Amino acid sequence: MDREKQQKAPFVEALEGYCQQHMKAYHTPGHKLGQGISAYQANLFGDALRRDLGVMYALDDLFQPEGALKEAMELVDNAPKTVKEGLSKAEAEDIKKKLEEAGAKVEIK
């Protein structure tokens, strides 16, 4: 696992970049990027409505991702995961051996 890569947030970065372009919303009704909301709604939701996920089509293809979404998905796939907890040392070593034989990198804590 590349710890430096795991610090990245490619989809969030792409979404922020899109928001900074100040695009006008001409898509799904109700998705207005926070435009025209009441003061109460602005207080309740803060800046979140400006990052309307309805714009995802402008960032990457959900069904065949190639850009920021694909990179984010790969980072999640490569993130460290806990496999088992509360095992004896012998059980942990046995599982470690099997996982390493399959190509995994394993750390027993």
Checking if the pLDDT of 45 tops 80, the result is no
Q: What is the pLDDT of residues 57-95, one digit of tens each?
A: 677 887 888 988 898 888 888 887 888 889 999 999 999
Cβ-proximal residues to 96 (8 Å cutoff; 6+ apart), any chain: 106, 108
Report which of 11, 55, 12, 10 is spatially closest to residue 33, judged by C-alpha positions. Answer: 55
CA distance 99 to 82: 12
Task: State residue 106's pLDDT score.
Answer: 86
Higher pLDDT: 21 or 50? It is 21
Q: Would you place residue 5 in the very low, low, confident or very high pLDDT band (cuts 50, 70, 90)?
A: low
What is the structure's pLDDT at 24? 66
How far is it, in rounded angstroms, from Cα 104 to Cα 98? 9
> pTM here?
0.49
